[in-house]
Amino acid sequence: MFGLVFFASLALKDPNNRKIAMSQAITSVHNIAVIGRDGTGKSKLVDAWLHLIAQTPESLIAELPEEESRGITIYNRFYSLAFDQGRINLIDTPGNSNFLPKVGAALSVASGAVLVIAGSGSAESSLRLFETMEAANRPKVIFVNMLDLPDTNWENSVHELELQFNLSPLVLFLPIYQDGQLVGLVDVLSGEPVGGGVLSEGLKEERDRYFQAAIEQLSELDDELMADYLEGRPLDPELINQVLTEGIRTKKLTPLLLGAASKGVGVKQLSLFIAQHFPTHSQNPIWVGMESGGQDAGLVERRPVASEAFSAMVFKTLHDRFSGKLNFALVVSGLLVKGQKVLNSSTGAKIDLNHFARMNGDHTEPIEEAGPGDIIVIEKESHLFANQTLCDPSEPILFEPIAYPVPRCTYHLELTDTSQDNRIIDSLHKVMEEDPSLRLHKNIETGEILLSGMGPLHLEVVREHLKSVYAVEIKLVDPYIAYHETITKSVKVHGRHKKQSGGHGQFGDVYLLLEPLPRGEGVLFESKIVGGVIPKQYIGSVEKGVREALIKGSLGGYLVSDIKVTLVDGSHHSVDSSDQAFVQAGILAIRQGLPDAAPILLEPIMEMEIDLPEADLGRVTKDINARRGRVTGYTYREFTTLIKAECPLAELSDYAVALKNMTQDKGLFSMHLKGHEAVTSHLSKKILAQAQR
C-alpha cells in the first residue's frame, strides 16, 4: 500500500477550537499560495478547502464589489485552517495578468504553491502564473480541476504542461467515472479508490501504467529505491513517501493531483498531501538579510525557527474603512507576544506591538502570540508600511524588500484645481501604499499628473476602488504626447529690448547664431563675446532668456531641443541695461529666429521589449510594423520569445489592450524613451492641426 493511504487518518481539527499550542504552530505552519487563471475554479477550490474546516453550507470567500461584479479575484485573500498536525494558511491570489505583482507578493511569503488548471482548458494560458511561480522557486503541486465537466480531457492538460513548461508531472491520482459522472479518484501509488467508485478493468490497467511511470520517476531520485525497482524486490512504502517528500522539498518533483472542487472531489486529498509532503515554514531555507541599512552592513542569517531572534517581514498594507490601517506580516523567526517591543529596522523606530491578529477572509481573530510561519495582521500602527522589517532590537536584521515590476500602462489624471484634488491625491497615496505596483508622477514637459499601473483593467479597478472606499471619483484620459521641435538650418538673429518710461529705462541688445545639433544633444548655449560689448554679469541673463523661449517652439508650442545657441555680439547701456533687459532680449531673438530656421517636429520614440509565446511572434511583429515601428532583434527564451523594437509613442496608446488580444493575455511588454526622431511633413501637419483644435 502506497501514497496517501499512509496519512488518510489525518483528521481535520474541530473548527470551534481555533487556538493551537504554540509549540505545534511553530513546527507545523504551511503557507500555501493558491494560483490559477480566472475560470479554473481556483477560488472554488479555496472555498471547498475552507468547508473542510468550517462545515458550513455558505461560501466563506470574501469579495469586494469590484471583484463580485467581474467574477474574478483581484486582491490576495488570507484564510487560516487548523489541523491536528498544525495550520495551513491559504492565500487566494488573482488570476489576471494585470495583478501579477500581487501573486509575486503572495509567493514571497509562501512555503509552497498550488497551481490550479482546468481539465477542459488550455494549460498554456497559465504561462505568466507559472513563470511567476518558477521565479519564486517554491515547492509546488498542480491541481487539475473541474473534472466533473462534460468536455474534460485532463490528459490533454497534462500533455500541454509537458510541452509548454518543460515539465514531467508526477501523476498521483486518476479520476473514476460512472455513467459519465465523476464519482471518485484512484490513488496511483496504492491502487485504492478514494471517495467512492469502483475500478474498471480498463482503469486498473491505466493505473498500472501511471504507477510504473511514477516509480520510475521517483527511483531517479534515490539509489535504494532504484535498486529495489530494477531487481524486482518489494517496494518499501515508507521509502517511497520519503523520496516523494524530499523530491518536493528540493523542487525536483512536480506532483499532479486532480478533482472537482465544486463537488468536493480531491480537495481533502490535496489538503492531506500538502500536510504530509510539503515542507513547513520552519523546514524552508535560511533567510538572509542585512545587519542594518548602512552601505557597509554585513549579511545576517535567520533560521525560520522559534529558537532564533524574532524577525518578521511586512509584505502588505491595507486601509480598512472600519479598522483603519492594517499591515500584514510574516513571522520569519522567533516568537512574538502581545506587548513586545520590536525594532522597525527599515526606519530605526521602536514599536510596542499590542494589537495583532490572524486574518480569515474578511474578519480578524485577535491572538496573543505568534511563531515562525504565522501570517499576522498588525493593527493601529500608522507609521508601518509594506516592505519593512520588524525584528528584535538587540539582534537587528533588514530583509530585502519585495521587487515590483515597472508599470506598463499610463493615463493622465485630470484634476480640477479644487479642494477635491487634495482628497483625490491623499486617497491615491493610500491606494499606492496598498499596491506598490502603482505609480503617481508628473511629466515635467507637459505638466500632467500621470497614474501608471500594470494594465487598463488594473487602473479601472483602482478608479472603482477609490469611488467605493474613499468616495472620490477620478477621470483617466490618454496622456499628451511630448513632441519636440528642432531646427534644420543655421540662422543669425537679432533681439533688442528697449523701453523708456521715465527714470531708468530698459536696454538689452543681442545677436545670436542658431544651429541644429544631432539628435539627443538637447540645448547648448555658448558665448563668444569679446571686448566687453556685453558685460559678463549679463551673459547668464541672456542664456536664461534663451532657455525660457525654447520651452515653446514656433510650430506647436512644443519644447525645442537639439539646438546650439551662440551669443556672438550685442550692446549695452551703462544706465538702462539690467539682467531683466537681457533676459527679454534673449527671448525676443529666439522667437524671431525660430521660424526662419526651418523648424520641424520631433516625436518620442520608445524602446520596447515584448515578451510573448513564439506562436504569436508573427502577428505581433506585423502589428509593430503597422504602428510605424521596427523590430531590432529577437531573443529566444525557455518558454517565450523576447522582441526588441522601436516605435513612436503616439502609436502605442492602446498597446496594452492590443497585446492582450493578440496573445490571449500571455504577452507582456515594457518600454522606455529612446529619444526623438523627425516626423514626416504629412504627419506633422496632421499633428499640428489636431493640437490647434
CB 275 within 8 A of CB 345: no
Max distance between CA atoms of the chain, in angstroms, equals 115
Q: Mean pLDDT over all residues of the chain?
A: 90
372: its cell numbers = 515562525
Considering only CA atoms, give the Rg of the chain.
32
* Dihedral pair phi/psi, residue 581, rounded to 5°: -65, -40
pLDDT at residue 9, rounded to an integer = 29
pLDDT at residue 613, rounded to an integer = 92
pLDDT at residue 692, rounded to an integer = 78
Q: Is the pLDDT assigned to residue 238 strictly greater than 60?
A: yes
CB 195 within 8 A of CB 187: no
Question: DSSP secondary structure string, 411-439?
Answer: EEEE--SSHHHHHHHHHHHHHHHH-TT-E
Q: Is the pLDDT assigned to residue 409 strictly greater than 50?
A: yes
pLDDT at residue 294, rounded to an integer = 64
Exposed, middle or buried, 505 (CB in 10 Å: 0-12/13-18/19+)?
middle
Across 557-581, average pLDDT: 94
pTM for the complete prediction?
Answer: 0.87
CA 373 – CA 32 distance, rounded (Å): 11
CA 322 – CA 185 distance, rounded (Å): 45
CA 153 – CA 602 distance, rounded (Å): 55
Q: Which CATH class is domain 484-597?
A: alpha beta
Residues in the chain: 693
pLDDT at residue 65, rounded to an integer = 87
Q: Would you call 519 helix, strand, or coil by DSSP?
A: coil
Exposed, middle or buried, 368 (CB in 10 Å: 0-12/13-18/19+)?
exposed
Q: Does 3.40.190.10 match the CATH number of domain 601-691?
A: no
CB 669 within 8 A of CB 408: yes
Pairing of strands 340-344, 349-353: antiparallel
> Confidence band (pLDDT; 50, 70, 90) for 56?
low
CA-based nearest residue to 573, from 564, 585, 562: 585
Q: Residue 685: count other Cβ atoms within 10 Å of its Cβ.
A: 12
Beta strands in 189-323 (DSSP E): 193-194, 255-258, 287-290, 299-302, 311-320
CA 636 – CA 86 distance, rounded (Å): 44
Helix boundaries (H) for 435-574: 456-470, 539-549
CA-based nearest residue to 614, from 663, 580, 572: 663
CA-based nearest residue to 11, from 57, 56, 53: 53
What is the distance of C-alpha 616 from the center of its chain?
A: 23
Segment holding 23, helix H or strand E: helix 22-27
CA 164 – CA 613 distance, rounded (Å): 10
Report pLDDT digits (tens) over 270-329. Answer: 999 999 999 999 999 999 999 876 667 789 999 999 999 999 999 999 998 888 899 999
Question: Which residues does 151 contact at the CB level (< 8 Å), separation at least 6?
Answer: 120
171: its cell numbers = 501523476
Q: In the CATH scheme, what is the code of domain 3-282?
A: 3.40.50.300
> Confidence band (pLDDT; 50, 70, 90) for 179?
confident
Residue 581 DSSP one-character state: H
Percent of the chain with pLDDT over 90: 77
Which residues make up the CATH 3.30.230.10 domain(s) of the chain? 484-597
Residue 265 DSSP one-character state: B
**From residue 565, how far is each of 436, 527, 570, 578, 633 by CA, in Å?**
43, 9, 14, 21, 38
Q: Is the pLDDT assigned to residue 402 strictly greater than 70?
A: yes
pLDDT at residue 180, rounded to an integer = 87
CA-based nearest residue to 429, from 359, 380, 382: 382
570: its cell numbers = 550685442
What is the distance of C-alpha 479 from the center of its chain?
A: 23
CB 382 within 8 A of CB 430: no
pLDDT at residue 463, rounded to an integer = 94
Across 607-632, average pLDDT: 96
pLDDT at residue 62, rounded to an integer = 81
pLDDT at residue 668, rounded to an integer = 93
CB 627 within 8 A of CB 654: no
Across 96-109, average pLDDT: 95
pLDDT at residue 55, rounded to an integer = 67
Pairing of strands 484-487, 559-560: parallel
**From residue 91, how far is each of 21, 104, 369, 514 by CA, in Å?**
22, 12, 21, 63
CB 515 within 8 A of CB 563: yes
CA 588 – CA 595 distance, rounded (Å): 12
Report pLDDT digits (tens) over 332-374. Answer: 999 999 999 999 999 999 999 999 999 888 888 999 999 999 9
Q: Is the pLDDT assigned to residue 26 strictly greater than 50?
A: no
> Confidence band (pLDDT; 50, 70, 90) for 12?
very low
CA-based nearest residue to 354, from 341, 365, 364: 341
Q: Residue 290: count other Cβ atoms within 10 Å of its Cβ.
A: 19
CA 331 – CA 375 distance, rounded (Å): 6
Q: Is the pLDDT assigned to residue 580 strictly greater than 90?
A: yes
Q: Which CATH class is domain 287-399?
A: mainly beta
Exposed, middle or buried, 336 (CB in 10 Å: 0-12/13-18/19+)?
buried
pLDDT at residue 532, rounded to an integer = 86
Report pLDDT digits (tens) over 467-526. Answer: 999 999 999 999 999 999 999 999 999 999 998 776 678 999 999 999 999 999 999 999
pLDDT at residue 575, rounded to an integer = 85
pLDDT at residue 54, rounded to an integer = 65
- Write down the number of H helices and E strands in the chain: 17, 37
CB 663 within 8 A of CB 641: no
Which residues make up the CATH 2.40.30.10 domain(s) of the chain? 287-399
Pairing of strands 170-171, 255-258: parallel
> Confidence band (pLDDT; 50, 70, 90) for 22?
very low
**From residue 201, how far is each of 184, 198, 259, 264 by CA, in Å?**
16, 10, 21, 26
CA 25 – CA 13 distance, rounded (Å): 13
Half-sphere exposure of 477 (CA within 13 A, CB side): 6
Percent of the chain with pLDDT over 70: 94
pLDDT at residue 195, rounded to an integer = 84
pLDDT at residue 339, rounded to an integer = 94
Question: Which residues does 209 contact at the CB level (< 8 Å), separation at least 6?
Answer: none
CB 497 within 8 A of CB 508: yes
Question: Which residues does 610 contact at the CB level (< 8 Å), separation at least 6?
Answer: 620, 624, 642, 643, 645, 659, 667, 668, 669
Pairing of strands 484-487, 599-612: antiparallel
Q: Is the pLDDT assigned to residue 20 strictly greater than 70?
A: no
Q: Is the pLDDT assigned to residue 405 strictly greater than 60?
A: yes
CA-based nearest residue to 187, from 244, 225, 118: 244
Beta strands in 93-139 (DSSP E): 112-118
Average the pLDDT over each of 137-141, 442-446, 622-626 and give the range with the smallest value: 442-446
* CATH superfamily of this structure's domain 409-476: Elongation Factor G (Translational Gtpase), domain 3 (3.30.70.870)
Q: Is the pLDDT assigned to residue 243 strictly greater than 60?
A: yes
CA 446 – CA 432 distance, rounded (Å): 23
> Confidence band (pLDDT; 50, 70, 90) for 8?
very low
CA 566 – CA 582 distance, rounded (Å): 15
CB 175 within 8 A of CB 188: no
